[in-house]
Amino acid sequence: MISIIIPTKDRTDNLKEVFKSLNKTTLYSKEVEVVLYVDYDDKNTINFLKNEINDHIGVIKTSAIVGKTKIKLADMYNEAFKKCTGDIIMYSADDVRFKTQHWDVLVNEEYNRYADKICLVFGPDGIQPIGTLATHGFLSRAAIEKIGYVHPIGMGYNYSDNWLTYIYRKLNRLCYTPVYFEHCHWGVGKATYDNTYKTGSDASHDDSIDLWRNSLEQRDKDVASLQEIITNGPVGNSTENNLIETAYGLDARIE
């Protein structure tokens, strides 16, 4: 089972497009589930979940967590993980579209190369240079449970992907696969600039920058923790040799 975590806020049209793309491209739909995280005050999305969502999900199992308090974006992923049943977990977003036919088979095939399942699998998003930054990717349940998070605890917007890219590149388990998960972001003209962008990824996030820049010791501890459960096997194909500075102005370089 692949579990797809999607935090969402006041974007019901986006959710319709997410499910449309999933139903069009997923081969084994009954082996995929979606877990949404919604804020308690997001009445539009809550009403959509109550009255309309079944018209769009097809056979894809879908559930939602409605948060009781406001929390950081990373912690939304971590809370949603508690409801996931899959052994492979995707951290996705409501502005991501699944574009590659049978993407689920291709992701599973990549994971099957690793007996220990400790890897981060990701594909192109249409924004970042190919093979560089795992903006939306797949983690194993085993790895998440070992280090205690999907996204680093307390992180806001934009830097969790840098964090995870660093860890898995240092483990030699960062695995680029040509499966297109299109990031339909306003910054590249693929979405309308809305209040969710304004108050989310486009807002000030100095706390996240500070957490990233002061996290080297913690990241290396997490690397060491995952090394404890890694067995012999292939290495990932995304290394520091093809590292390019990300669009956020921070890189995921091994320091």
Predicted confidence band of residue 61 (pLDDT cuts 50, 70, 90): very high
> Has residue 254 got a pLDDT over 60?
no
Architecture of domain 2-242: Alpha-Beta Complex (3.90)
Is residue 141 a contact partner of residue 87, using CB atoms and an 8 Å limit? yes
> What integer pLDDT is reported at residue 198 of this predicted model?
82
Is residue 16 a contact partner of residue 161, using CB atoms and an 8 Å limit? no
Pairing of strands 174-176, 137-140: unpaired
Query: Which of 12-21, 95-104, 237-246 has the lowest average pLDDT?
Result: 237-246
Structural domain spans, the chain: 2-242
Q: What are phi and psi of 63, to 5 degrees?
A: -140, 170
Helices (H), 155-204: 160-170, 195-199
> What integer pLDDT is reported at residue 240 of this predicted model?
52
Q: 159: buried, middle or exposed (CB in 10 Å: 19+, 13-18, 0-12)?
A: buried
pLDDT digits (tens, 9 = 90+) for 146-200: 999 999 999 987 789 999 999 999 999 999 998 999 999 988 899 888 888 888 7
Is residue 83 a contact partner of residue 37, using CB atoms and an 8 Å limit? no
- Average pLDDT of the chain is 90
> Has residue 244 got a pLDDT over 50?
no
